[in-house]
Amino acid sequence: MKLVVRLLISAAVIFGVAYLSDGSLLVVDGWVAAALAAVVLGVVNAIIRPVVKLFSLPITILTLGLFSLVINAFMLYLAAWVVPGVDTTGFLMTVLAALIISVVTTVAFKIVDRD
């Protein structure tokens, strides 16, 4: 049940970022694309992100952790590349969209998962 709630929250945040930015940060063609992007982003973050973080650890240490923003943007790029109906609008805008998505979903998960 928690997985479904987390998936719905992620889809709502992705759709909200695309809707509220009027396509300047992220372009999503509807709820179905947002839900599919949430699933793909979850899989990408679970499988590919740890490997990328491991290999980029020296760069992350040199940049005092700021390279993690680039990794988040890259994961969002991967999700947008896989999911039809989701497009990114540029590197800096993708970094900003990834930052907003990660902060809002983290806060929403903390609110929902209060046990």
Among the listed residues 80, 89, 108, the one whose alpha carbon sits nearest the alpha carbon of residue 21: 89
Q: What angle do CA 86, 98, 70 make, to 5 degrees?
A: 115
At residue 115 the predicted structure's pLDDT band, cuts being 50, 70 and 90, is: low
**Per-residue confidence (pLDDT) for residue 2, from 0 to 100:** 84
**Per-residue confidence (pLDDT) for residue 3, from 0 to 100:** 86
Residue at 106 is within a domain: yes
Phi, psi dihedrals of residue 26, rounded to the nearest 5° = -150, 145
At residue 23 the predicted structure's pLDDT band, cuts being 50, 70 and 90, is: confident
- Average pLDDT, whole number, for the chain? 92
Residue at 11 is within a domain: yes
At residue 74 the predicted structure's pLDDT band, cuts being 50, 70 and 90, is: very high
Q: Which DSSP helix (H) or strand (E) runs through 63?
A: none
| pLDDT tens figures, 89-114 | 889 999 999 999 999 999 999 998 87
pLDDT higher than threshold 90 for residue 1: no
% the chain with pLDDT above 70: 99
In sequence order, which residues have a C-beta less than 8 Å from that of residue 64 and are 6 or more positions away?
A: none
Write out the residue range of the structural domain in which residue 88 sits. Answer: 2-110
Residue at 60 is within a domain: yes
- Total domains in the fold of the chain: 1
Residue at 115 is within a domain: no
